[in-house]
Structure 1
């Protein structure tokens, strides 16, 4: 459903620079819009095509050829070189030969050039009216839209909307510039889809432009309202928090939109100055959270080029794409018809792992990407004398290599503040130089990964910045050259073993890193390789909870709670508390302990190690629970604190699942809970022991009596991240058994 095509930066949530070919979008904002809010925001950021519902591929080619001709008739293109001294040269096509730029026979050293513009357009104002008028003629016949919507409504009476037309077209020109057009029509059936009545497009001056070619609304009363093409706004992006974006947003509102309206539009994005003419990587998603009658994506490239593509989750019997040729072009077309609503499931894989989609590129192997990205990264990984001096100070007195690595790892996390600020694709994808980040004392994930790798190399560690797509997003197999990612981390190789470090955090010790990077593929351009990030064992990502409690003769419980953590558990818990204001921590602690142990009243608490990574982090809480026991005559009934809350397993609430269960990372959770009972009470009943095991999880627990105390101990191990659908039934039975055991109670009788 989405086809966004180029963007400016990785940021914390790097979006693939290759995943499109048009608009330059901030990596962080694009990721959040397209993926985190993939349904509620999807039509606000849709892009651009111009194909009617009722035409076939031949008609598409003819109509698009006419439109391209119209477009060229009103736009003149020529490459431009701007020089550092203020001069400017324009002409034909820029080439890069023997380390120099060449334009119409003139040569320019790289140091002389401040900017190149490939295919600079004529004034946008002269293009607006005729192109809008031409595209408006391609609006779908109202009777087709009305009939299609009516038929779909009868089949899906509870739908919030009906997507009638979902067409995207990518056009790659001979000179490397490219256009992406999107044609959408849909009927709004509930207020949750009123956002279909507004559009926003991001563009960057000097590189791309975006616009809406026509918008119209068909009201429930069958009145037709056309958008006035002069009524749009261009706004600068807001700057706040730790993200700073370049570029502008072109936005417009549909006229007279209400529930029951049909909206239709064609939008267009053009990259007239691509960061690299060789990168062209269209992609498309073919399903939504509402019924979609027809999704179609067309890719048109010069005839002498060939797409390297991969289909995912493709419907049985669908042989897309069809491939046809004209005299000058090769045309690929993917079509999916009558898609039912996509319904999410708890802890399912990402949307892109479940719906029909394709990825494509012009690259047949990784060589060009490795060369391009590797050179950019290598040039940034230069240790200045100041960096060398600080590294020496950091590691002075270190006991061994792991201690030295840890000191540098912590320094980059805590001394380089996370702020994303990008001004070009080069800085967006490969970070600023190590010198820049070191001196500025801030940067984003790419900047921090570059600096960390540079500093580690100064102590003899083989280290590289790498690109990943975190495991809360779609899987990127990399079997076709695909630089997609939303994050950058650092690979360190010590004695032949690979370690993965994420310097965007502030709270992790070596060798641990964020669990959302576990098990994903990564690209290491400097290694000229791609591989998979290490998956830790449950013992390397663990939490142990110990509660020592006393019941008094009135049934009141007093207790001390200690949580001890390892790996991502420690780093993420420490990071959570680190960012809470000190005067709010007590309130948060009370709310949390009240949730896991209803009625608990915190009497004291502390967080050793929260501000000092050399001290193991713990959560320590003392609390009191009045009238903790349930009384039935001379019997006391007690629950073991916290256990029931820890084993609820919402992911197995469905009778059947259509999608696998996906966890972030393997982990271990264990408890030791000791309850001292009053002298005048004896144990009437203790639950028996349990031991369960399957390929994905294991659980064991036992109760015992020691002196005047009841002791409960257990251990839960998640061994694999993903539980496939075919094993859901047995996995659900396992989880239910653990939940039922966790709800068991202890009975005491007064003597």
Structure 2
């Protein structure tokens, strides 16, 4: 189905389109969208969809039609729905089989959206059958920012023909932009865009959002992003207000701190005291947040509300703060003109420090942005709105400093301890992990059970609620009879329980050719390991030192024996957040080197056998 996004966080939907089948399950034969301005502030959309079922899986996927709409601003109806069974038997779906219910968003956060879902359940479908649905949606535009639809083909299945027609263009100031795949014709009263024979996307692990690589057609009532942001600011401006209560709160929370230190305290307070509901940026709500007073009374809010409250608190302390709109997914494309796919999330911008904050993420430290938010298009909203990018991450600022010290006993047991300090957006992940387990023993045992040597242990960590501090994690662990005390002994360098070690990164690898960019994440892993031998044992063979470096990053490993202790030092750097398909072989070579080193064997013999 054509994607006609309406600021419904659809890029998050795109991010989840990771399909398990390479062959198509359905074929979109035709999708015709007719758009007609009825009045100055009313738009009618008529969509006719024809889809052929190709496989049994496709039959299951096409068995239900769902469409979300907002009754405050939209009148949505299904004009007809049918199934054609070979050779030419048409089954018309009666309106009694249509159902309307509250969306999950409405049920979970009724104060934020009242969206509904209209559903049609088709009878049992089989391959070679065809589904047809025709819908009409009349939308009332509250302002020009509400008309910025973007059309793309279905990423899941091939599309034979997608067409969009905009009628009565002389009655509506219309701007458009497109990728080269769309053909476009325009006269005084009609604009027609078509896309033919588009293949489905075969997903790749850690690839960018499919909306970054799909062809697109944008239609907009606004020509520039700055104009779009300025119009949005007119709805935000009345909400942003430093009341006496906000001023008192800001003074109390910040204390004597000023500037960046005050900002950090206010950020910490909001994350610890305001409950997050959900992300709902939609046209029905015009992306308008609640007032700070309302948020404080409720004790909860969505992304827009987090930004509003923190902004008011910061402004009360003399710190400039502006809302910014981003796409919180692996979507990094910047559209030429205002597009409904460009944003699904609100964050905060501090112009004095050129810093973006994501207070919605309760595990994210001050200024920490995850791989989906770093160096991504952002529209800063204000009296003079502008498009820019969020701050880029740096490999040296994200990662871990990890140390392990392990003893091999005469009976083949391994006993060790570890310590780790996490940096940058690695903190966000670690805070999330430790808050989802019941104990340090549970986490250590889970990690060790999937490791080469197994074992049991106990982990301890710093307070994840102190988000202004780097997370630290320590452990003690034990693995009984992990090593067969043969002569010689062959073993790998023990690691102990490490959250997200180098082996964890192999999930990003694919042995087939990549066609799309992947998100790798800039990081630096500093790892120091020590292995201590029992009395009367010596190291016979140790791995060679390694160094590999290319445009993607570098991997260095060094080994050194001091008496009965083997010291290993690793520095693994990934310098790119996004890696192109062309550059992927360089990333693959880097990862292969790192994994081969992690799996390299060490030889240990009893004293006196060293030269035998």
Common topology (TM > 0.5): yes
Residue 372 of structure 2 aligns with which residue? 516
* Residues 646-725 of structure 1 aligned to structure 2 (within 5 Å): 646=503, 648-663=505-520, 665-725=521-581
Structure with greater Cα Rg: 1
Match of 1:192 among 53, 57, 66: 57
TM-score with structure 1 setting the length: 0.74
Deviation at 1:423, TM superposition (A): 11
* Residues 298-377 of structure 1 aligned to structure 2 (within 5 Å): 298-312=165-179, 314-315=180-181, 320-325=183-188, 329-333=189-193, 335-366=194-225, 368-377=227-236
- Closer/same/farther in 2, CA of residues 714 and 339 from structure 1, 3 Å limit: same
Partner deviation per Cα, 1:160-186 (whole Å, 9 max, x = no partner)? 222222222322334231122222222
Residue 354 of structure 2 aligns with which residue? 498
Residue 211 of structure 1 aligns with which residue? 77
1:162 lines up with 2:162 in the alignment? no
Partner deviation per Cα, 1:373-422 (whole Å, 9 max, x = no partner)? 11222221111111111111111143x53321111010111111112497
Deviation at 1:714, TM superposition (A): 0.7
Match of 1:407 among 247, 257, 265: 265
Cα separation, 2, equivalents of 1:278 and 1:493: 24
Cα separation, 1, equivalents of 2:283 and 2:30: 33
Residue 625 of structure 1 aligns with which residue? 479
- 2:372 counterpart SS class: helix
Partner deviation per Cα, 1:695-733 (whole Å, 9 max, x = no partner)? 221221111112321111111111111222333333333
- Closer/same/farther in 2, CA of residues 292 and 182 from structure 1, 3 Å limit: same
Residues 562 and 618 in structure 1, CA contact (< 8 A), matched pair in contact too: yes
- 1:379 counterpart SS class: coil
Cα separation, 1, equivalents of 2:115 and 2:537: 72
Cα separation, 2, equivalents of 1:656 and 1:167: 34
Residues 490 and 601 in structure 2, CA contact (< 8 A), matched pair in contact too: no
Deviation at 1:467, TM superposition (A): 0.6
Cα separation, 1, equivalents of 2:329 and 2:124: 41
Deviation at 1:287, TM superposition (A): 4.6
Deviation at 1:259, TM superposition (A): 4.1
Cα separation, 2, equivalents of 1:389 and 1:485: 33
Residues 177 and 277 in structure 1, CA contact (< 8 A), matched pair in contact too: no
Residues 162 and 292 in structure 1, CA contact (< 8 A), matched pair in contact too: yes
- 2:348 counterpart SS class: strand
Which consecutive residues of structure 2, in runs of 5 or more, have no partner in the other structure? 608-612
Deviation at 1:225, TM superposition (A): 1.0
Match of 2:592 among 736, 748, 751: 736
Residues 149 and 339 in structure 2, CA contact (< 8 A), matched pair in contact too: no
Residue 412 of structure 2 aligns with which residue? 555
Residue 291 of structure 2 aligns with which residue? 433
Residue 489 of structure 2 aligns with which residue? 635
- Closer/same/farther in 2, CA of residues 424 and 648 from structure 1, 3 Å limit: closer
Cα separation, 1, equivalents of 2:592 and 2:415: 30
- Closer/same/farther in 2, CA of residues 652 and 286 from structure 1, 3 Å limit: same
Which consecutive residues of structure 1, in runs of 5 or more, have no partner in the other structure? 7-15, 17-26, 41-155
* Residues 52-131 of structure 1 aligned to structure 2 (within 5 Å): none
Cα separation, 1, equivalents of 2:426 and 2:360: 16
TM-score with structure 2 setting the length: 0.90
Match of 1:609 among 456, 463, 466: 463
Match of 1:270 among 115, 138, 144: 138
- 1:380 counterpart SS class: coil
Deviation at 1:538, TM superposition (A): 1.2
Residues 291 and 338 in structure 1, CA contact (< 8 A), matched pair in contact too: yes
CA RMSD of aligned residues (A): 2.8
Cα separation, 2, equivalents of 1:301 and 1:670: 62
Residue 126 of structure 2 aligns with which residue? 258
1:285 lines up with 2:140 in the alignment? no
